[in-house]
């Protein structure tokens, strides 16, 4: 699949290039950059490279986030190709609070609709208020929360992109038997 470059006046989402591996390793090993994600950051660059290879390599919905007129990526946005269509993202801390992820998602949204992706899920560590706010600001709806092995709480958000073809995904509901609704 040919992954396009999607661009706004300020940022671009582009396909991964081999030269991006160092920044991806840095993002995946940075606990702050991945603090929004419900999985633990990689413990080493080798671990990060293995993680990338197994989960993201050749993924048609893996985009590097790049500021225009700046040749280095500052983050990534990814949608899994399995039935869950799970959205993951990471952004270098110095670019937080600039609405870059919102702008990136606004670029990605029409492309996903064009590709026939009818819905998305987003899992966010509940203590990462910036990412929970991001989910709400781009239109995700809170579904439920669940605890993970380390005792932290993860929130599951859901967004329907194409109502006519969206289907309830029982796998997302059945995966977490100990789920609960938080008073948000």
Report domain extents, the chain: 6-180
Tokens of 147: 């605890």
Contact 165, 126 (CB under 8 A): no
pLDDT digit string, tens, across residues 52-70: 666 565 678 889 999 988 8
Amino acid 150: pLDDT: 79
CATH number for the domain formed by residue range(s) 6-180:
3.40.630.30
Q: In sequence order, what DSSP letters do the residues of 93-123 get, joined into one string?
A: GGGTTSSHHHHHHHHHHHHHHHTT--EEEEE
Q: Please report the pLDDT score of residue 138 as a whole number.
A: 96
Q: Select from 84, 36, 106 the least CA-distant residue to 28.
A: 36
DSSP string, 137-169: HTT-EEEEEEE-TTS-EEEEEEEES-TTT----
* Cα–chain center distance at 130: 13
Q: Which of 49, 120, 114 is nearest to 79 (CA)?
A: 120
Residue 164 confidence (pLDDT): 86
Question: What's the pTM?
Answer: 0.85
Over the stretch 86-136, which tens digit does the pLDDT of each residue have?
898 989 888 989 999 999 999 999 999 999 999 999 998 888 888 899 999
Name the average pLDDT for the chain.
83
């Amino acid at each position: 699949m040919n992954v396009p470059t999607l661009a706004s006046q300020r940022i671009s989402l582009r396909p991964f290039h081999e030269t991006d591996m160092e920044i991806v390793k840095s993002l995946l090993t940075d606990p702050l950059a991945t603090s929004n994600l419900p999985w633990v950051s990689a413990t080493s660059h080798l671990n990060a490279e293995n993680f990338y290879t197994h989960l993201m390599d050749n993924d048609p919905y893996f985009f590097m986030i790049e500021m225009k007129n700046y040749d280095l990526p500052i983050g990534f946005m990814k949608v899994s190709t399995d039935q869950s269509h799970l959205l993951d993202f990471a952004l270098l801390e110095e670019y937080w609070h600039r609405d870059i992820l919102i702008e990136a998602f606004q670029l990605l949204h029409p492309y996903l609709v064009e590709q026939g992706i009818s819905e998305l899920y987003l899992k966010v560590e509940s203590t990462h208020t910036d990412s929970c706010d991001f989910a709400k600001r781009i239109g995700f709806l809170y579904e439920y929360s669940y605890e993970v092995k380390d005792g932290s709480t993860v929130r599951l958000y859901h967004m329907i992109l194409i109502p006519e073809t969206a289907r309830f995904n029982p796998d997302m509901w059945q995966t977490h038997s100990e789920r609960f609704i938080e008073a948000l």
